[in-house]
Amino acid sequence: HGGLVMLYHPCANPLEVKRLKSLVQGCLRRHIITPYSLLSEDK
């Protein structure tokens, strides 16, 4: 009954975010994908 939470920096490359969203949405039913401003840009 697990799920996945994907946090990304708001300044992340939009194309990379879109690719990750497509991958996650295609594999997992239960997920949350959202920007998080407290992440450092290099992580």
What is the C-alpha to C-alpha distance for residues 1 and 21, in angstroms, rounded to an integer?
A: 20
Q: What are phi and psi of 42, to 5 degrees?
A: -90, 0
For the chain, the domains span 4-35
- In DSSP terms, 31 is beta-bridged to 4
Digit-coded pLDDT (tens) for 14-39: 999 999 999 998 888 899 999 999 98
Global pTM exceeds 0.85: no
Measured CA to CA, the distance from residue 8 to residue 40 in angstroms comes to: 9
pLDDT score of 43 more than 70: no
Reported as half-sphere exposure (CB side, CA atoms, 13 A), residue 9 has a value of 9
The whole-number pLDDT of residue 39 equals 86
